[in-house]
Structures are given as structure tokens and as C-alpha cells.
Amino acid sequence: MAKKKHARKNVRHSGTIAKRGKTPRGRQKGLDPFLAAVKGAERRTVGHVQLEVGRAGAARVKRLVYPRGFRWSVDMKPIVGTDLCMHAHVGFLAHGEIHIEYADGCVVEHKAPQIVAIEPGHDGWVVGNEPVVLIEFDFEGDTIRRLGMPDAHRHP
């Protein structure tokens, strides 16, 4: 799969694409299907993350788009108020690359396409020039238990 780092010259003149916190909606080749409005979902933006959320059975299905340059401890921490993100994230990384750092210093790299199962208690940041698109499933306040995730990152 060829990287397209140098293939964005045709859009540089607009001056808005690279702005931090702006999702380059539909501007990047091949990303349109990932960024289009999701049928059955409600859209909101939290800490520069574009979130679409809808219900399916007892679960919620979410599509999250993290802009390039995003870092949880910078963009989300002031809104959430905890030292680290205390959510479990289970789902499918559809586009981009995101790194997760746990409290003990372990860094886990995730690169699309791949399954993700991220334990509570982490920071995370987007790597590279592409936005990250994550499809995630949760059960609101009961997510950790119902997904069978550990309540924190630890080693056996």
C-alpha cells in the first residue's frame, strides 16, 4: 500500500486543511466513505473528535474521527477531567494510526486495518498525517463489564 505523503499538493492552497482540530472532511482521497454522515447516527464534536453514535441492540455503535495532531491529554483531558482516558475502546480501526500509552509507560501501536481492545487508563495520539477513523462498540456506563475488558492495564 503506497503512502501518499507527497500527494496532497492539489489542496494546499485552501489553507484550512492542515488546521489542527479540523477534520479534513472528504478532502483526502479515499477517505470519503469513512467521513460521510452515518445513517442512523447522531453527530457531535467533542475535543476536536467527530463522533457519530447510534444504537444497535443493547449496544451503542460509534464512529470516531480523530484529526491529525490529536492527543488525548491535550485535546480531551481538559474536558473530561481525569488524568488518563478511563474508557475501554473495543472495535475496528478503519483508517490511520494511533498510539496508546498506559500509566506504566507501555506504548501500544495501532495501525489500520486492525482490531483494537484498549484498556482503561491511557493517553493516546494520532501518528502521521492522516486522521484516525475508529469504529467502536460500547455499553455506556457498563462498557467494561459487558465487553469483558479488564478495568485497567496490567501484566500477568
Stretch that binds Zn ion, among 23-31, 103-111, 115-123, 126-134 (CB under 5 A): 103-111
Q: Which of residues 6-45 bind Zn ion (CB under 5 A)?
A: none
Return d(Cα 51, Cα 156) in angstroms, integer. Answer: 34
Q: Give the count of residues interacting with Zn ion (CB under 5 A).
A: 2
Stretch that binds Zn ion, among 45-53, 100-108, 117-125, 128-136 (CB under 5 A): 100-108
Stretch that binds Zn ion, among 52-60, 90-98, 105-113, 128-136 (CB under 5 A): 105-113
State yes or no: cis peptide before 78, omega within 30 of 0.
no
CB of 63 to Zn ion, least distance (A): 28
Which CB atom, from 42 or from 104, has the smaller least distance to Zn ion? 104
When asked if residue 107 is in the footprint of Zn ion (CB under 5 A), the reply is: no
Residue 97: CA count within 13 A, CB half-sphere: 8
Q: Which of residues 117-136 bind Zn ion (CB under 5 A)?
A: none
Output the CA–CA distances (angstroms, integers) from residue 72 to 3, 32, 60, 78, in the order listed.
25, 24, 21, 9
Q: Is the dihedral of CA 134, 52, 88, 149 positive or negative?
A: negative
CA nearest neighbour of 38 among 69, 10, 61, 14: 61
Q: Residue 86: what are its φ and ψ, rounded to 5°? A: -100, 15
CB of 155 to Zn ion, least distance (A): 6
When asked if residue 104 is in the footprint of Zn ion (CB under 5 A), the reply is: yes
CB 93 within 8 A of CB 134: yes
When asked if residue 106 is in the footprint of Zn ion (CB under 5 A), the reply is: yes
Interaction site with Zn ion (CB under 5 A)? 104, 106
